[in-house]
Amino acid sequence: MSDNSPESVPVSPSTPVLVGVGQASERPGDDEYQARSAADLAADAVRAALTDTTADPAALAAALDIVAAVRAFDCSSPYATAALGAPDNVPRAIARRIGADPARAILGPTGGQSPQQLLNELCGEIAEGRCGAAVLVGAETISTVRQLAGLPPAERPDFTEHDDGPLEDRGYAIEGMTPFYAVRHHLVEPAVSYAMLENARRGRRGDSRADYARAMGELFGRFSAVAAGNPHAAAPIERDAGELVRVDERNRLITDIYPRFLVARDQVNQAAAVLMTSTETADRLGIPQSRRVYLHGYADLAERELLVRPELDRSPAAVAAVRHALDMAAVGLDELATLDLYSCFPIAVFNLCDGLGLDPADPRGLTVTGGLPFFGGPGNNYSTHAIAETVARLRDRPGEFGLVAANGGVLSKHSAGVYSTTPVPWRVRSTKSLQAELNDAAGVPLAYRPDGWGTVESFVVRYGSGGAARATVVGRLDDGRRFLATPLDAATTAVLTEAEQPVGRRVFVRGGDTGNLVALTREAMDTALAQGVPTLRDEYGTVSIATSGHVLEVTIDRADDDNTLTGDTYRELGEILTAFAHDDDLRVAILTGAGSEAFSLGADLRGIRSPLQLMLQPHNGFDASPLDATPAKPVIAAINGRADGDGLALALSCHLCVADETATFAVPDTALGLPPSTTILLRLPDLVGRALAHDMILTGRRIDATEALTAGLITRTAPQGKALDLAREMAADIVARSPIATRTALAFLAHTTSVPNRETTAPHTATLADALVAHRDPLDGLNAYHQGRKPHWRNA
């Protein structure tokens, strides 16, 4: 122990101390398997923790001021659902089962860091005198759901419970965890994102595929041996390095680098609880010193967003969190008796080993449970089990130290704790300056619509059922910007799946409206895209066209549905627009809506249940500057009725807008829990002024054609039913002028005005999407729309 250890300093009555730990589990196939609900299994773990103190369990339960529950997988994002139902106040449902009535109930944030993060918070509450006793508890019963969710409705249990008691909900806290840019390029599932980080590390090290696989197998083989001796492990079978990485029918490839045995095992029924009190409460309840363990050091830090990190295979925040906790505890890494490093995937362990100078084969072992692939990955709650195991081991080794390092997101959120039986006063050492330093580190700029040569920085190939492969490339353009792309062709995919080292390979990338493409050569890209230039067809599904001389008329032909915009509509508009741009005979396009009621009322929401569905629609028609990537030609919007939401965005993206005197304009999106499109947010204030734009966006105020003309939203007005005629007159005037002069003028204006284009709107669209998908309000807004009710806004 270091000379500056605080062991000799007496503790105060408010000093927090861990006094009881408990775990509960069941495995399908075991004789005692009951397919428990999460609340029932969590209550079992709390009872075990109460009993573990050796004090009177009933007296301890009655003394609980706070019950803090780790958020389960089935409520970890706005899109998660509890297939068998769940309590609406999880901590109070658990409290009720153990006979407790806490003053406060807390539901933690999403992420594997949350158990250690909540424990740090609860210890602080105790130290400040705001709490005498608290329990941290979490449970996952994913195997129960797998067993029972497929039963007929009448045979399925319903675990729904309601409780009116107050709940402190920490929210999802998943902003930036899965950026919209990544979603668009299939970088979503944890196994895929972590495999990308893993390949970046393999590339940096220069390891062969076989050598790196061997290293992963050797690392996790040692974890497997620990799990084999853990009675709560989901897979208590020791497997050696060769078996873990040998691909066969049972151990199929999930990604190009991960077979099934190397990824976190989430099909578990596991629960764990940690009971903590003030020293005064522990003394009053007669809890012996032999049961007490103290938190000597702790830290909570967050990493930069995934795609802007300087090095994809490193998380400096994870390393900094561990170092801060060790420094606070005044112990060195070599003084630890036990370690548990979060192990959802090998890279999470390797990252800390690399950053701390820790040997992956350290004889102390890097897990006390067996790790997430073998002990089990009970959602966000894994580290509660790690803390429980650490406490139990340290009781048998008085005076020694144990480390728990927890991780959430994609190496995104990190919490660390250093524990010992040695009493220590509670101390506060802020990480604000350290977090600020991490945040201020230079990030990598992103290219949302890249075009040019670059280098593969990392990659991942995801294998689906039947062996189908889907690949994503992360690269750097020659100017240093980072891009995401999917392979253009089989030859590019073959390099990713078969070449010994794709990292460092030169590639050519080009941006597109539905995502970016990457190829081995520019010639391959040019050939493929040239073949894809469309020509005008006679018929379309949701749009109709007509040509007259040099003028193309495009009609959104969905009058019975108020000309709402579907994914097919956007695809067809994009196809027509591209054909128009490449047709030398066509000089002007007119866009209008069928009928007399609506130009367009925006997105068709009938099949939309998630904002992600809406945002992933191919807004490649007029969503941004319509001629951004093509020869500039004038487009006139003939507004023949209401223009709302994305319908208004279409009009704003045209060069000229005319409207009949009955036309109106509105931005209703926020009433549905959705932000307006980036075209509206960027263009509307520029056209009509900030005051009117804010009024329309924030309150949904509808304006008529007269006010729109005065404000500069439209160019001219026409009598009722004559907007298209006026647009045709204007088109004739344009056609009478030099097409070269017209194109030159438009091309110049596009670079000297604030009209947004696809390149400038892309980062704004991504920012909006990233802020939106982390909350439940948008989902409820859409559900309310479909159900014909008022939304129940939760502001979360």
CATH of the domain at 490: 2.40.50.840
Assess whether 521 and 555 both reside in one domain.
no
What's the pLDDT at 6? Answer: 41
Local mean pLDDT, 10-residue blocks, the chain (796 residues): 48 97 92 91 98 97 98 89 94 98 97 98 98 98 90 92 95 81 90 97 97 98 98 95 95 96 93 98 97 98 95 97 98 98 98 98 98 96 98 98 97 98 96 96 94 97 84 97 96 95 97 88 90 85 96 96 90 87 92 95 80 59 39 87 93 93 95 86 92 96 97 96 96 91 80 55 62 72 82 72
- Of 498, 531, 564, which residue constitutes the final position of a domain? 531
- Of 478, 505, 531, which residue constitutes the final position of a domain? 531
What's the pLDDT at 472? Answer: 97
Please state, in angstroms and rounded to a whole number, the distance separating the CA atoms of residues 387 and 644: 54
How many residues are listed for the chain in this entry? 796
Specify the residue for token string 């998908």: 773
Based on the structure, what is the number of domains in the chain? 3
Assess whether 481 and 607 both reside in one domain.
no
Please report, for the domain that includes residue 290, its CATH number.
Answer: 3.40.47.10
Range of the domain at 275: 16-181+258-440
Residue 213: inside a domain: no
Residue 192: inside a domain: no
Assess whether 101 and 82 both reside in one domain.
yes
Assess whether 492 and 430 both reside in one domain.
no
Residue 728: inside a domain: yes
Assess whether 457 and 418 both reside in one domain.
no
Asked whether the beta carbons of 374 and 224 are under 8 A apart, the reply is yes
Assess whether 526 and 553 both reside in one domain.
no
Residue 411: inside a domain: yes
Residue 221: inside a domain: no
What's the pLDDT at 257? Answer: 97
CA 177 to chain CA mean position, Å: 4
What's the pLDDT at 739? Answer: 84
CA neighbor of 170 nearest in space, from 119, 115, 107:
107
Assess whether 572 and 518 both reside in one domain.
no
Specify the residue for token string 């066209």: 545
Please state, in angstroms and rounded to a whole number, the distance separating the CA atoms of residues 349 and 655: 55
Residue 203: inside a domain: no
Number of neighbours of residue 757 by Cβ within 10 angstroms: 17
What does pTM read for this prediction? Answer: 0.87
Residue 491: inside a domain: yes
Burial 164-177 (b: 16+ CB within 10 A, else e): eeebebbbbbbebb
Assess whether 331 and 473 both reside in one domain.
no
| Dihedral sign from CA coordinates of 500, 503, 507, 509 | positive
Element at 470 (helix H, strand E): strand 469-477
Assess whether 282 and 428 both reside in one domain.
yes
Assess whether 661 and 734 both reside in one domain.
yes
Assess whether 681 and 581 both reside in one domain.
yes
Please report, for the domain that includes residue 758, its CATH number.
Answer: 3.90.226.10
What's the pLDDT at 512? Answer: 76
Residue 244: inside a domain: no
Q: List phi, psi (to 5°) of 31.
A: -60, -35
Assess whether 596 and 695 both reside in one domain.
yes
What's the pLDDT at 775? Answer: 75
What's the pLDDT at 759? Answer: 56
Please state, in angstroms and rounded to a whole number, the distance separating the CA atoms of residues 716 and 247: 68
What's the pLDDT at 622? Answer: 36
Please state, in angstroms and rounded to a whole number, the distance separating the CA atoms of residues 697 and 702: 10
